[in-house]
Structure 1
Amino acid sequence: MKPILIAISALVAGVLLSVLAPQIPQSARGLLTSTGLVTASGVDARATPAASEAGHGASGEAEGTLRMDAARIETARISLATVEAGTLSRHLVVPGVIVPDRNTIWRIAAKVVGTVAELRKGLGDEVRPGEVLAILDSREVAEAKSEYVGAQVNFGLQKTLFEREETLWQRRIQAEQQYLKARNAFTEAQLRVHLARQKLSALGVSDQEVSGLSMQTVNGLQRYEIRSPGGGRVVERIVDLGAPVGGEGQAKELFVIVDLTSVWVELTVSTADLAEIKEGNRVRISAGGTDRRSEGKVVFISPLLNQDTRSARVIAVIDNKDHGWRPGSFVNAEVAIEEARVDIRVPRAALQTMEGSPVLFVRTETGFERRKVVVGKEDDQFVEIAFGVDAGEVIAVSNTFLLKAELGKAEAEHSH
């Protein structure tokens, strides 16, 4: 009996408010409007007990809420995430091909005429910087080393004579002319040593090997070591043991070494999209049919266009320490052409549409609460939320269609 009396009283109050609403002062009308008792046109029907009961389910839950415990959430494979700030990126997808980094390709050539006496490295071998790849027998090198050794011997002799003449001249025992002659011979011998050393350096003989040359190492002067200027892997070995190299009509290159710890991606970008790409833009690389992904950045944009394809050559560099990216492979590249920092960002999969409005499902102590939101900017993966949720709240980000279906079913049952 009491609930019926309450309902009748509320109905009468509602009628009176409807009649008197135009006469309510503006300040009081604003207060009633904020509490939901009066709308802009009159009384809000939801303020009456009858409407309030209609907005609750059989379990007493408020409209837009759904009971669901942690075990049921886990069974439904509904993932949760905390709402936070982030970056939205707009991408341009273009085709590309993996090529070696041109800065890490070493073409090892013979700077002298000779014959291959030893091959220390073969196809596929790993090479460290400065490691010996091959040894040649070269008459040219033997002559240069002999010249250097001879210059060293002469320098030592002239130095001794100069020091002796200098001592005698200082004691006024020797004439100045004799002293000056000895000093000139010493200077000339010093210059010959310097020139002989420069000649060996030009032939590619290492400073360490030159420093070890003396009268005691006259044997094997024809041996010429070919060392690698950088690290990597031997991808080509052009000569065989005993082959003549360096001469007219003979092989000049011996090895090709490539370091594939980083590779280039040559992107083909049309003239319509070229203006949106800048050097330094982030690039995400993927290969069709695999789940392999890598990130890099654009390092070069050619100022020239290909006359046939009317496209520009764009180079991106990516890390390849595991050697998973092989030169020659075709890939897809997503170039980030615009980035914007937003205060609240959620995954696109977290959003659902109900009653024509985008909604999120916010985690509560008993389950989830449907929350209408206002969306802003968006990219391929995320959407900015301009209004509706706060940073730090926990929302459902996967299988949210299950929550939408469950809530829709519950509200349909409650309306009957």
Structure 2
Amino acid sequence: MSRFSLRPALLALALCLSPALTLAKSAEAVEAREAPPAHGEVPLAAEQIDKAGVAVTRVEPGVIAEQLSAPGVVIADQDRIARVPARVIGSVAELRKRLGETVAKDEVVAMLDSREVADAKSEWQAALVNCDLQKTLFERAEKLWAKRISAEQVYLQAKTTAATAQLRLNLARQKLRSLGVSDGEIDALRADDASANLGLYPVRAPIAGRVIERKVDVGASVGGNNDPSELYAIADLSRVWIDLAIPASELNAIREGQKVSLRAPNEETLSGQIIFIGPVLNPETRAARVLAAVDNPGLALRPGGFVTAAIAVRETPVALRAPKTALQTIEGKTSLFVRNDKGFVARAVGLGRSDAQFVEITEGLTAGETIASENSFILKAELGKAEAAHDD
């Protein structure tokens, strides 16, 4: 048979095999695209990770704090409580703040109507007018004496009178200052306004904070012998004290300056330090009073509330540590989700010592690896759904 007679047969065979090869390649491509992720892997793009709110952190060396737990009561920082006094005798004309409202330092919180203040302001105005008059008379007497038109005795008397008027003006200003009237308010009295109520007296907040107590009502008399002497109580609760009871057996481990951490009612972890250790034991409980100052930026801690504080009595360096919030239990093993180029992969780890926030990683990770530190439960849920779909 000639080679020319074989061509039709080979062409027919090629046409028969071509669809089969095409179908095989397509099946391989589909199988490659639909290949399930490796065991424990959660494929996620960077945009999906950000949208899910999964935070990541690098695993690095650190310290683990050995802690002592102690119950305590939240109290206001005694250095951040202020009473708003009624420094003058009078009646309450206006109260501008209610319980719980926020006030700024030097903000006017109330207005009093005081005859005492009105008399002091009138005295200063009279002293001012007299001082200006005596200065004018002295300047005139000085010119006449310089020209030897008037006697020296007249000049000296005018000088003495002007100095006495200035002294009385200064004394009137000091009296107003002692009543709490500022220099700016005193200088404003120079304006001759007969309709102004000289008895109105503004009461200002000595510190910034919140009103925790109101002592009087509008129209009440204040400042007298049998009258209330305070209008408000203001507390700055951005930092509070924790009143702890430490047993005598544990006192040797407590030092001023040691770090303290606790969980607020809103689940936020707050930190502070020991500022006072009582030198006397309670005869009934055989415990000492220990105070810790704790920052309270969100005002989650309220005076009178009960908390459990963790005192860091000793700090131990560790090779690797991870946040406790990153831990998840997968297939009965404690695991972390480690970042890779496809997303995350669950990896079982060994744990060592721990404190309120961190745990030592003894095996399963190396320094510098990135893990999911917050909202890792979302990854656990995605892993469970992927494995369930694979089983089906």
TM-score by length of 2: 0.68
1:19-56: CA deviation from partner (whole Å, max 9, x where unpaired): xxxxxxxxxxxxxxxxxxxxxxxxxxxxxxxxxxxxxx
1:161-210: CA deviation from partner (whole Å, max 9, x where unpaired): 22223333444444444333322222222221111111111112233221
Verify: 1:251 aligned to 2:219, yes or no. no
Contact persistence 1:149–1:215 (CA under 8 A): no
Paired AA for residue 197 in structure 1: R
Q: Within 5 Å, which residues of 2 pair with 1:245-284? A: 245-284=222-261
Q: Within 5 Å, which residues of 2 pair with 1:17-416? A: 70=38, 72-74=40-42, 83-214=59-190, 216-218=192-194, 219-287=196-264, 291-345=267-321, 381-383=358-360, 391-392=367-368
Partner Cα distance (1:250, 1:341) in 2: 61
1:377 to 1:230, Cα distance in 2 relative to 1, 3 A:
closer
Contact persistence 1:105–1:256 (CA under 8 A): yes
Instruction: Give the secondary structure class of the aligned counterpart of 2:181.
Output: coil
Partner Cα distance (1:110, 1:297) in 2: 36
Instruction: Give the secondary structure class of the aligned counterpart of 1:74.
Output: strand
Partner Cα distance (2:372, 2:222) in 1: 70
Partner Cα distance (2:229, 2:372) in 1: 66
Partner Cα distance (2:85, 2:114) in 1: 14
Contact persistence 1:100–1:264 (CA under 8 A): yes
Paired AA for residue 88 in structure 2: V
TM-score by length of 1: 0.64
**Pairwise CA distance, 1:225:** 1.6
Paired AA for residue 237 in structure 1: R
Instruction: Give the secondary structure class of the aligned counterpart of 1:115.
Output: strand
Paired AA for residue 42 in structure 2: E
Partner Cα distance (2:347, 2:207) in 1: 61
**Pairwise CA distance, 1:250:** 1.5
Partner Cα distance (2:168, 2:340) in 1: 89
Instruction: Extract unaligned runs of 5+ from structure 2.
Output: 1-35, 44-54, 328-335, 378-392
Paired AA for residue 285 in structure 2: T
Contact persistence 2:40–2:347 (CA under 8 A): no
1:283 to 1:237, Cα distance in 2 relative to 1, 3 A:
same
**Pairwise CA distance, 1:301:** 2.7
1:159 to 1:382, Cα distance in 2 relative to 1, 3 A:
same
Contact persistence 1:378–1:384 (CA under 8 A): no
1:204 to 1:82, Cα distance in 2 relative to 1, 3 A:
closer
Paired AA for residue 287 in structure 2: S
Instruction: Give the secondary structure class of the aligned counterpart of 1:216.
Output: coil
Contact persistence 1:362–1:370 (CA under 8 A): no
**Pairwise CA distance, 1:233:** 2.1
1:178 to 1:300, Cα distance in 2 relative to 1, 3 A:
farther
Partner Cα distance (2:92, 2:80) in 1: 25
Partner Cα distance (2:92, 2:372) in 1: 69
Instruction: Give the secondary structure class of the aligned counterpart of 2:170.
Output: helix
Contact persistence 1:80–1:395 (CA under 8 A): yes
1:230-250: CA deviation from partner (whole Å, max 9, x where unpaired): 222222222122111111222
Contact persistence 1:138–1:222 (CA under 8 A): yes
Partner Cα distance (2:240, 2:315) in 1: 25
Instruction: Extract unaligned runs of 5+ from structure 1.
Output: 1-67, 351-359, 400-416
Contact persistence 2:318–2:360 (CA under 8 A): no
Considering only aligned residues, what root-mean-square deviation do their CA atoms show, in Å?
A: 3.9
Q: How many residues align?
A: 319
1:301-333: CA deviation from partner (whole Å, max 9, x where unpaired): 333433443322222222323222111110000
Instruction: Give the secondary structure class of the aligned counterpart of 2:253.
Output: coil
Q: Identity over aligned residues, as a percent? A: 46
